[in-house]
Amino acid sequence: MRSLGAKHILAIDVGSQDDTDLTNYGDDLSGWWLLWKRWNPFTTPVKVPNLPDIQSRLAYVSCNRQLEEVKTSDYCEYIRPPIDSYKTLQFGSFDEIREVGYRHGSAYFEGQRR
């Protein structure tokens, strides 16, 4: 964008935050161990990521370095609306998410005018 002549760039981050409280399985995962953890009410629950979580994590890993560069650059304004309570594929809440983003953007740009 800068090479095309842009002086100031707005980067709006609407990606989900990385979930870091997953269970560490080590190098392998035993089905018996998982079954024991699921049936025993006195053990801590096991968080097994589903397919969208895995895909989201792969995308996050691939662009995390670039995101950190954008956050610290002087030519780019990094904006993140408060949408952390929504999941990546939560399409049913589109209108609500849009409203949250609109309110955040309105407040942000109102602060820029002053």
Best CA proximity match to 19, nearest among 50, 44, 43, 40? 50
The model's pTM is 0.54
| Residue 70 predicted with pLDDT over 80 | no
Q: What's residue 1's pLDDT? A: 65
pLDDT-derived band at 19 (thresholds 50, 70, 90) equals low
8 Å CB contact between 91 and 32: no
Q: What's residue 77's pLDDT? A: 83
101 compared with 56, residue with greater pLDDT: 101
Question: Where are the domains positioned within the chain?
Answer: 2-113
Best CA proximity match to 82, nearest among 103, 110, 65, 112? 103
| Residue 91 predicted with pLDDT over 80 | yes
Sequence-separated (6 or more) residues with CB below 8 Å from residue 63: none
Tokens of 102: 């609109």
Return d(Cα 43, Cα 71) in angstroms, integer: 40
